[in-house]
Amino acid sequence: MKLHELNKLIFDKLNLQQFAPSDSSLNGVQVGDLNQDVSKVALLVDASLEGFKQAKKQGADVIFVHHGLFWGRPLAITGSHYKRVEFLIKNNISLIACHLPLDAHPILGNNAGIADKLGLVDLEPFGKYKSNNIGIKGRLPEKNSIDEIKKLLLGDNEPAFIVPGGKNSVSSVAIVSGGSPFSVLEAIDQGIDLFITGDRSHEVYHTCLEEGINMISAGHYATEVFGVQLVGNWLKTEFNLETIFIDIPTGA
């Protein structure tokens, strides 16, 4: 498979065109020779030099990330940005990025992955951002406590910031991965029991308490590892590409 073929597969599967008017990131190939042969794809959340070095050690010739190098404005190729681009080019490693489409995809997206891990049913789009919904909402098969839901999502040892503003036992859950704490306002309007996102927010803390909603801020990175792994599984299963997920948590 050539890089341009892989790019088209991702472009079509993840509906990149749909998000072009609203997503400031440069989705698709950001660095690379479009005629390059693809044999192994490394999946990372963030485009970082450490991630690139680990991908090289693992023999990857293409890297797929959620957070890429370019965000809608000219960026001088100096400093750390230069070192990242230089490393990719010198080692003939291509970079493909997918931002909002990877949050929103109903099967391969970050929010779909979280919903699946929690076992949500009756799924519907949620989390309006400009012209698209990027999140998801659903219902737990059985009511559960916030602490148990947090454990199910992150395990016992990973921290999360919990605002226990609502019911002790919750049924309806809305999710927007990453940095979307203000989407809790939409969840409040829809009468949702629990809102899950990545980033915490000082501004919405008292609103959650006063409006009677629970909120879990599970970490930006922790809520966005799902999509890249799901894409890796899709590429491996459907196209027999070798894939590797490289985990570099940021603690945020």
Annotated binding site for a divalent metal cation: 66-67, 103, 220, 224
Return the closest-CA partner of residue 6 out of 180, 232, 208, 211.
232
The CA distance from 167 to 152, in Å, is: 18
Whether the CB-CB separation of 218 and 200 falls below 8 Å is answered with no
- In the DSSP assignment, the letter for residue 182 is G
The CA distance from 109 to 250, in Å, is: 20
Helix (H, G, I), strand (E, B) or coil at 137: strand
φ, ψ (nearest 5 deg) of residue 138: -170, -165
- Which helix or strand (DSSP H or E) is residue 141 part of? strand 132-145
- Which helix or strand (DSSP H or E) is residue 4 part of? helix 3-13
CB atoms near residue 26 (< 10 Å): 14
Known binding positions: 66-67, 103, 220, 224
Return the closest-CA partner of residue 4 out of 33, 25, 27.
33
Handedness of CA 142, 145, 146, 148 (dihedral sign): negative
- Which helix or strand (DSSP H or E) is residue 239 part of? helix 226-239
CB atoms near residue 250 (< 10 Å): 11
